[in-house]
Structure 1
């Protein structure tokens, strides 16, 4: 249920507890900001010494005010924090912004204090931001309770870093970016990132949500809130380079990092991930244009070969495609360009712009109208003619005629854009020239750096959340009691995962009894070994019982494993081995991995990730997105594989894993996919507890 945060963002009255005349204290900066809009609502300053603060009378306590206060900012030293919160609640506060530090970030004792305060706030029906935060602001309600000013605009900024928020404000100014709201998240003891994303989604003046988060709390709930927002969500997070906690017993654990998990959550939620504050600014500037890409097929348009080549590389580095243009489109381009122009992609004017500036507009119009083009990246000198004519320097001598022509071309480009939803992004050597200003004022993102222009287009190409949004977790099933190989097989088989016949044996008699249940060839596996194949604990294609018995004796002598599995050998001809794994992330819950498997899983590293459980349709899309996806459709005369059957098994495996919170990792490797179906050939599980539980 969505929380009511109206008292937080549009309170009837405000009090700053800890207001001070000392510029070194945070209570001074917040009080000064709060007084910027005294006509909007009553603003009370509270200092235990009373007197005056910033030329205003200060009350010695909230109680001394003699009237209720809707929102209270608490900026006092730690020892007095709880008393200040209790007094605020007694005075009827419905929202508290806790700037005071020294709680969960200080250790277990601080965490216990924080939890106790949050419980008292919730019991009173109030909300708490922080503690250990730097305040909030809402430009749409003239609420200024942070140390810095934020230019008004449409971006809601939710950040765990005050300095990063300031940097984003400074970087956004040249692009005309402004902010509807700012919230410093702090420790999220009560009001969480999820609450704020949901509230900003309902906030009509907010057009995009920018998040810097180091701790997601409930990451899956964040992803779900972002998917449901109906507005662009741009995420900057830290720690991408460090591998998450893992078990060395599993390929899934060895292949999965925290960066993979966050990226999977972003894809499933339609969130735009960025790596730096600069990239976040670029993405927000692009998204503010209102255009959205239908896909990643990008036409690069330039007036110089060097710029075109660099831009094509930058586009592909950003995850876009720069395909060769089709014959009919190339023919249409030749009708508006001269003979020496290149029309393959990149499209190069090759000097025609100086002869006829409107050729820029004609070319952009043809590219935007082409069905095979999803977006256009224009790069190079455009803007230079108007820069020279406008006295900015750098353009050809006597450029006034060219300047006028270029400005007309800019206006013509704007008219072409009016008839399409496709995005155009521009990189210019003269981004502040009059003609580039024409484009920028019409909403076209203009950048000086090629890589920024490419990254902007990539942000516009991010797909919305898939149908159904972030997958819901199934109800927990009865816990898995036997995490051994056959116990895991039985669990998966009960969920509809197909396996070949298999029997666990501990001596030669049981081995021969098992072999009598089905004809060879046989497979023999030593159990309770982490990587059986690497240890020489798997023997394949044993033709008869004699060969099976000989392999058993040799393996037992060499490995000494207490138990073995005798299995029917699956037909490997025309098949491809896949891996399906699920690892339970502490923030995002179960995360699925699918890719090419077998003994070369970690060597190939051709895998994709998604939040689990994964539907069959989503699973097929993940498989089709692998680098080696062509293998699934048959190569060099091999038949096409039953990808739909493999996708169905992936759905069943990930559904089983999602229903068992006690399983830290579940893996089927290999999953053999053939022209006539899919078959799981091996499985293993790692439990979260107890730590010494036996493992397959």
Structure 2
């Protein structure tokens, strides 16, 4: 894997709003074609549907698609700000030279066979990219599907996209097309679309920043396999969230199979799933697992509000659907609390005597008798201090099939429900079997998300509630690098960490029996003897515990020397582990996202239990404490079954100090203390390991 430090150094260019890419004065399509099997044809056909002047460039034909063509961009006679290049890789550089000569400030590279091919193709791509940047222009792609902006009538993608307010940035053309289809099901569409391709110049972070400035974009959907500078990507997403334009991310890399596919299909380098999850938590990115989840969540984000809490009212027009909706809500961590007496009485006054009003609410035939009961009940729920959000489920939207008068009343009820919800600032999500009805459309138009399935609606509401309960922690700044670490031996590692304030037990390194006895005289029994030079010393019997006296020490020395012949040993005081919980504390440097801090249950069970929490480093002591308390085994730390609680603050301080060391030493690939013993009286590191990059 090439790290960010391996990427070519490109000429510096000032950040801009990419106006030449999304709203150019004119477009030149280099490689425009009559051949319906070629991208040059597909792009040209779509471009001519837009509202921006289009010049068709073909070296050998005077007409393309029945329109005049020119042999070069330079021959057009006036500057053209945007050029789209759809020629074979062998002609890409000549096409770029022509575009720059014709005044292009932005270039979209449709051409494939460059960076993703590796070798000479990658070197060619890097040289061309440097040339474009030196000319003060920007490159999207190459190996991309195109670009589109409905607000400027720019149509430079191979396919049409429905109009809406979702910005789409994708490294996969087909996934972007699938998402667009799914958005239509929710009454949504696309404001802008940009295909990332190889990200030779413009990357996902650049495009997110450009989408944030776009008035027509309300939320940003990203499919990305290679984040290049991951922290820069996360910071751009954080800026988007702060601007009220949340980023929803779909990526790959959670399994070996997806990593293999990404490398063979796109040539992208996939960041590991656990690192991306940590970046998402830090920046407020909403990560999803499929295009369908992306569409479901986008609808909730652009139409609804984040609820103040998890207390959820379930409101249905059928007992079965009320029960299923309640279970679905509970599965998403939502709290279907019983209403107070006052709210129950208010709801009961709007419904038949047989209605259930304690939560969930079942109108029990009230809809057929008076369709406006939905509006009135929802009004009570929105106004109540007992409710943070409402999940509505059932048949609403289907009553209109009983007659035109009821149909009109049902649509009117939907409009009032949406208007009153907006006025009250409430959070309402609706699931109905009649999700494509006129009433459902009225709800959506008024800002209430409507779903076909209850699982989808409950999941989306759960994600909204989580945004309040688990706010973004922010992207931590990296310190200036310290003097590089050169010696990564056990004792050098201990010395580095002890200098940073991490406590260790008393110890000494010895390589002879004479040194062993001299060191033991300065320490307190019981002692521990560790064979050095072996990362898995405990598995190989290289750690001898509970050495009670000098005779036992000499026996342990002879045994370890005979079996393992280590270059040296560490003799250490035995920490008092009564009431202790062993923790794994470590930092791994990701080539894209930088230091990643890991905490979990440690010792010999670290790899077995895999109860780990991660965050972008460095972390504060407060953040480290939150990580420890979020472990599945956190009850061991806080005093489960009558145990005395350990000093979590002391353990968190070790995590924070270790993360600060790792952040200041970019040459360190991995640094670890496993275990750290957290006791009721404090915390102490029992081991140290450093691996250089």
Give the TM-score taking structure 2 as reference length: 0.89
1:134-145 map, 5 Å:
134-145=145-156
Q: Which residue of 2 is the match for residue 84 of structure 1? A: 95
1:28-177 map, 5 Å:
28-38=41-51, 40=52, 42-177=53-188
Q: Which residue of 1 is the match for residue 22 of structure 2? A: 9
Q: Which residue of 2 is the match for residue 25 of structure 1? A: 38
> What is the deviation of 1:437?
3.2
> What is the deviation of 1:341?
6.1
Kept in 2, the 8 Å contact 1:619–1:651? The answer is: yes
Q: Which residue of 2 is the match for residue 275 of structure 1? A: 289
Separation (CA, whole Å) in 1 of partners of 2:512 and 2:92: 69
Q: Out of 198, 203, 210, which is 1:199 matched to? A: 210
Q: Say yes or no: does 1:574 pair with 2:579.
A: yes
> What is the deviation of 1:257?
8.8
Separation (CA, whole Å) in 2 of partners of 1:148 and 1:72: 18
Q: Out of 607, 632, 636, which is 2:641 matched to? A: 636
Q: Say yes or no: does 1:683 pair with 2:688.
A: yes
Q: Out of 321, 331, 338, which is 2:333 matched to? A: 321
Question: Which moves more between the two structures, 231-240 or 366-375?
Answer: 366-375
Kept in 2, the 8 Å contact 1:387–1:433? The answer is: no
State the Cα RMSD in Å.
Answer: 2.8
Separation (CA, whole Å) in 1 of partners of 2:567 and 2:666: 29
Give the TM-score taking structure 1 as reference length: 0.88
The secondary structure found in structure 2 opposite 1:418 is helix
Kept in 1, the 8 Å contact 2:672–2:688? The answer is: yes
> What is the deviation of 1:467?
6.7
**Structure 1 residues 413 and 639, CA gap change in structure 2 (3 angstroms):** farther
Kept in 2, the 8 Å contact 1:294–1:422? The answer is: no
> What is the deviation of 1:356?
6.4
1:471-490, Cα deviation, whole Å (9 max, x unpaired): 12222222222222222211
The secondary structure found in structure 2 opposite 1:463 is helix
The secondary structure found in structure 2 opposite 1:37 is coil
Kept in 2, the 8 Å contact 1:584–1:664? The answer is: yes
Separation (CA, whole Å) in 2 of partners of 1:347 and 1:512: 77
1:130-529 map, 5 Å:
130-229=141-240, 230=243, 231-242=245-256, 258-315=272-329, 320-323=332-335, 325=337, 329=340, 332-333=343-344, 336-337=347-348, 346=360, 348=362, 360-361=374-375, 363-369=377-383, 371=385, 373-389=387-403, 410-411=414-415, 413-463=417-467, 469-529=474-534
**Structure 1 residues 295 and 608, CA gap change in structure 2 (3 angstroms):** farther
> What is the deviation of 1:99?
0.9
Separation (CA, whole Å) in 2 of partners of 1:634 and 1:462: 27
The secondary structure found in structure 1 opposite 2:347 is coil
Separation (CA, whole Å) in 2 of partners of 1:519 and 1:451: 61
Separation (CA, whole Å) in 2 of partners of 1:643 and 1:406: 57
Separation (CA, whole Å) in 2 of partners of 1:372 and 1:549: 70
> What is the deviation of 1:518?
2.3
In structure 1, the gaps of 5 or more residues are 246-255, 391-399, 689-696
The secondary structure found in structure 1 opposite 2:615 is strand
**Structure 1 residues 260 and 304, CA gap change in structure 2 (3 angstroms):** farther
Kept in 1, the 8 Å contact 2:311–2:388? The answer is: yes
Count of equivalent residues: 663
The secondary structure found in structure 2 opposite 1:292 is coil
The secondary structure found in structure 2 opposite 1:601 is helix
Q: Which residue of 2 is the match for residue 253 of structure 1? A: none
1:636-693, Cα deviation, whole Å (9 max, x unpaired): 33333322222222111111112222222211122222333222122212222xxxxx
1:341-393, Cα deviation, whole Å (9 max, x unpaired): 66676555566666665664555445444556443322233334344446xxx
> What is the deviation of 1:184?
0.9
Separation (CA, whole Å) in 2 of partners of 1:268 and 1:32: 43
Kept in 1, the 8 Å contact 2:330–2:336? The answer is: no
1:159-212, Cα deviation, whole Å (9 max, x unpaired): 111111111111111222121211111111111111111111122221111111
1:545-564 map, 5 Å:
545-564=550-569
Kept in 1, the 8 Å contact 2:393–2:432? The answer is: yes
